Structure 1
Amino acid sequence: MKNLWLAAIGLSLTAPVAGQEQEGLLLSDVTIVNIEDGTLIANQSVLIEGTQITAVGPNVAASPKVERVDAEGRFLIPGLWDSHVHIFSSATEPDTAFPQYLINGVTGVRDMGALWPIAEQQALKARIEAGEVLGPRLVLSGAWVDARPGSWPGMFLADTPEEARSIVARVADEGWAAVKSYSMLDEPTYLALAEASEEAVLPLVGHIPEQVALRTAIEAGQNGMEHFGRIPMACSTEEQAMLDTLRTAMAAGAPLDQVFGIMASRNRIILESWDEERCRRLLAELAAAKLHVSPTLVVANFYLGNWPSADTPRMRMLPGDVREAWGEPDFRLVAMTDEVRALAQDSIALDRRTFLMAHRAGVPILASTDASFANPYLFHGFSLLDELDLYVEIGLTPREALFTATVAPPRFFSLADQDGSIAPGRRADLVLLDSNPLEGLAVLRRPRAVIAAGDYIDRAELDAMEALLLAQGE
């Protein structure tokens, strides 16, 4: 199999071919891990031709020209997905992000908002699909829509239902995978956005706007929600009062610092008024609606100050200017009130308790991190494994945690050639592991090999990728 190497000069990503061209890859003596039901199928062979798996079984015939790898009984799982990232927040971010994803077994990501124009994102995606660039599969869902002036650069802006409908038409024309709602939309504009998205046959994902009740979003048909905090808020008996307070202030033209202060005061109210029975009813509604949740629980480490030291490999792999920027005061931490800091541990504990309830209620979860150069201490690739470890710490089994990163994402994205199974006709995005991940996720930290769209990257090549990242970060 050809093995591609990612290099970058400015905005130009290239991937020269290294090594001899092969006609395919035959993995023999693998133990296939069925993430959906937790079964193991030993002594299997997997034939990969091009980007697809073409045969699976105990005795698979293959051409003599096919490269052969004896897995010696090792464990094969579908490649991991991070369902909420931002890989286009700087001009050269993919140069670092792509190898970081691959060395961690992440073969697919959903980008949720970018500074690159959509045409440039699509061009890079096409180069990955053509085998010109080695990187994770991309789902481009970053058509984020917010009220003026916009929370981040590059957003679509809508203050009226008419503007929302016009934006959805543009999003459809430009070829985005979804429409993303954002925090400051008012309810009429949000509802128009939801209706127009449904008419355009585009999923509506994103934030539940701060003036919109979670049940309203369920009834509007939102398909996916980003981040977890609005679920504990909806479990509060004071949800409506909190919404009304913010709506009144915004209707009166309150300055942003007052608006943010009102939002920050919700933490105490939620802790005091969270109701378990109300929460169970709400979670049952979320599960019935199949509203997929991308929790990004690992983001809490940023607010708690749980940051890796400067000498850890993940920090040393970053470009120097990114490390320098992360060392500067961050506007999100500066905006935290003393009350929010004092309640942070209790608020995070409640989020995690509610998360476990949501999982047990059948709410579909998409493993996600918000990794981006724009979000300090959230790392491409590494943070996805941290997120999965959190799920297990909270109470999920390793299999259940893996399901959120291997099976649930491609099904939610309606990918024709991926559904979290290892079978003929499926895309060859795979990870080969030294031990059974159903017994513990630590083995994910050092995969034996990663297969990205059919390209086999063995342990030596993964080590070389790490070494290059460390060298470039010096």
Structure 2
Amino acid sequence: MKTSLFSAFLLTFILLNACTSKNQSEQLLLTGLHVIDIETGDIAENHSILIEGNTIKDIFEDGSKNTEGARSVSMKGKFAIPGLWDMHIHLRGGQDLIGSNKKMLPLYIANGVTTVRDAGGDLTSTIFGWRSEIKTDSLTGPYIYTSGPKIDGPDPTWEGSIEVQSSEDITQALDSLQSIGVDYVKIYESTLSGEAYLEIIRQAEERGLTVTGHMPMSIFIDDAITAGLDGIEHLYYVLKGTSDREGEITSKVYNGQLGFWDAVAELNDSYNEDTARVFYQTLADENVYVVPTLHIDDVLSFLHEEDHSGDEYLQYIPDDIRQTYQRRVRSAQRRDADAIQFEKELNDLFKKVTRDMQQAGVKLLAGSDAGAYNSYVYPGISLHRELAAFVKSGITPLQALQASSYNGAHFFGDYSRVGSIDAGKKADLVILNSNPLSDIRNTVNIHAVIANGELLTSESLNELPQTQD
């Protein structure tokens, strides 16, 4: 979207949200829609969606049922998809950045992202407060699933992480996370031992907790899957399962002969098609979800040469969040030619791995990694760019959309309640001007958003120039 279009949409959204209070007994009827079945890709043309409160009450062919008393809004010729899910973001930065994180929440809704998965940070109690406010429409933002603080080893990279070493530490950490009601457990590996990592997974599995994370390069990925790992964040760790030298590389890391990036380089060099094929089948059979985060890899790989000062979305990012971007920028500027070439080769392999996993039946999750410190990966719009990166890798538009709401809802075991356009489910929808199944870039061509049953649109939007991102 151009700045004028996005600015008007965001402003319209904020004004409507400020001036409208939802009547839980009021019925809203959206007519003339082409409703996309997110599971099959079938399109029900000229259909109506009846919404009551925050729930989809019924879906039927236009005019086929009596809807007297409902507030009717024509959506003739528009395409309805489930509200989008960003399955990897970060709400973080400590007390100083609470206000700025909160200010960015509307950017998700303005871009049709009605649900997000917070993948670990240091604002847990605040996030639970926001979630309650969003649920009652007193705060503008997406529904937030959260892991709470990450679990890591002693003296971890990220503030707010829970530090563990022993089995007893891990038990206490999981007790704490369960007591505050997190939606899943997120493991980080900046200082965590391989033994502790596997113990976290085993204990989480015994408690019935969903657990995802990064992974120490000092363990075998099959051991993590056997222990009960439910999801893998980013593709660096997936490469372990595609290498015909995983044993050798893992041993070198364990013995201190290789660091993380040297290990990734050797995994990249030892990628083996046959080994990868067998591993992908294991991921599919064991129902392990994978979050590729392709878009952020593309952004960070070119920080040394791309000037983002003119980005249209930068104007919506608070100054203190912008300042956190500089850490990665400075790091990128120190890269030499070999490092730059390696990152480009790695990104190409990541796209191939993503496509091949999809073809093998691995469940993918679309996540942008937007948040403080992740330079120029903007809340909301970056999910659309992730979907576009999926398609560019060789995945169909339908499969890309499924990696958002459909797979996201299944990941959390909530598909009976959310994740598709079906009667009885939560009314989170995006109304598009064009068919996203014919071109995934049409997901940015937004006509309206229905978030928690609230219609966010304006007649003036129809008069604005329509454009692709």
TM value normalised by structure 1? 0.87
The 8 Å contact of residues 217 and 263 in structure 2, kept in 1 or not, is answered as no
Report the equivalent of 1:36: 39
The structure-2 alpha-carbon separation of the partners of 1:419 and 1:121, relative to structure 1 and needing over 3 Å to count, comes to closer
Deviation at 1:241, TM superposition (A): 1.9
Report the equivalent of 2:72: 68
Report the equivalent of 2:20: 18
CA distance in 2, matches of 1:383, 1:231: 23
The 8 Å contact of residues 85 and 113 in structure 2, kept in 1 or not, is answered as yes
Q: Deviations over 1:186-213 (max 9, x none)?
A: 2221222112112222101111223222
Q: How does 1:89-108 map to 2 (within 5 A)?
A: 89=93, 90-108=97-115
SS at match of 1:309: coil
Q: Deviations over 1:190-238 (max 9, x none)?
A: 2221121122221011112232221111101111111111112321122
Deviation at 1:144, TM superposition (A): 1.1
Report the equivalent of 2:360: 361
Report the equivalent of 1:79: 83
CA distance in 1, matches of 2:145, 2:48: 29
CA distance in 2, matches of 1:60, 1:97: 40
The structure-2 alpha-carbon separation of the partners of 1:336 and 1:286, relative to structure 1 and needing over 3 Å to count, comes to farther
The structure-2 alpha-carbon separation of the partners of 1:54 and 1:299, relative to structure 1 and needing over 3 Å to count, comes to same
The structure-2 alpha-carbon separation of the partners of 1:176 and 1:336, relative to structure 1 and needing over 3 Å to count, comes to farther
Deviation at 1:5, TM superposition (A): 6.8
SS at match of 2:269: helix
Match for residue 291 of structure 2 among 294, 303, 306: 294
SS at match of 1:107: strand
The 8 Å contact of residues 98 and 134 in structure 1, kept in 2 or not, is answered as yes
Q: Deviations over 1:2-44 (max 9, x none)?
A: x99769xxxxxxx754378581311011111112111110121
CA distance in 1, matches of 2:323, 2:89: 21
CA distance in 1, matches of 2:272, 2:158: 34
The 8 Å contact of residues 290 and 363 in structure 2, kept in 1 or not, is answered as yes
Match for residue 52 of structure 1 among 45, 55, 66: 55
Match for residue 281 of structure 1 among 278, 283, 308: 278
Report the equivalent of 2:376: 377
The 8 Å contact of residues 103 and 462 in structure 1, kept in 2 or not, is answered as no
Which piece of structure 1 moves more, 201-210 or 320-329?
Answer: 320-329
CA distance in 2, matches of 1:49, 1:299: 38
Deviation at 1:272, TM superposition (A): 2.5
Gaps of 5+ in 1: 8-14, 250-258, 464-474
Report the equivalent of 2:467: none
The structure-2 alpha-carbon separation of the partners of 1:419 and 1:5, relative to structure 1 and needing over 3 Å to count, comes to closer
Deviation at 1:93, TM superposition (A): 3.2
SS at match of 2:215: coil
CA distance in 2, matches of 1:377, 1:123: 27
Match for residue 264 of structure 1 among 261, 265, 274: 261
- Partner AA of 1:290 in structure 2: N
Report the equivalent of 2:444: 445
Q: Deviations over 1:227-273 (max 9, x none)?
A: 11111232112222222222222xxxxxxxxx8x7222124322331
Q: How does 1:106-117 map to 2 (within 5 A)?
A: 106-116=113-123
Count of equivalent residues: 442
Deviation at 1:431, TM superposition (A): 0.4
The 8 Å contact of residues 13 and 456 in structure 2, kept in 1 or not, is answered as no
Q: How does 1:31-430 map to 2 (within 5 A)?
A: 31-58=34-61, 59-64=64-69, 66-89=70-93, 90-116=97-123, 118-183=124-189, 184-249=191-256, 262-305=259-302, 307=306, 309-327=308-326, 330=329, 332-333=331-332, 339-415=338-414, 417-430=416-429
CA distance in 2, matches of 1:176, 1:20: 28
TM value normalised by structure 2? 0.88
Q: Deviations over 1:308-327 (max 9, x none)?
A: 63223211221233334435
- Partner AA of 1:241 in structure 2: E
Report the equivalent of 2:465: none
Report the equivalent of 1:470: none
- Partner AA of 2:455 in structure 1: Y
- Partner AA of 1:62 in structure 2: T
The 8 Å contact of residues 45 and 60 in structure 1, kept in 2 or not, is answered as no
Report the equivalent of 1:467: none
The structure-2 alpha-carbon separation of the partners of 1:298 and 1:308, relative to structure 1 and needing over 3 Å to count, comes to farther
- Partner AA of 1:272 in structure 2: D
CA distance in 2, matches of 1:55, 1:432: 17
Identity over the aligned pairs, expressed in percent? 27
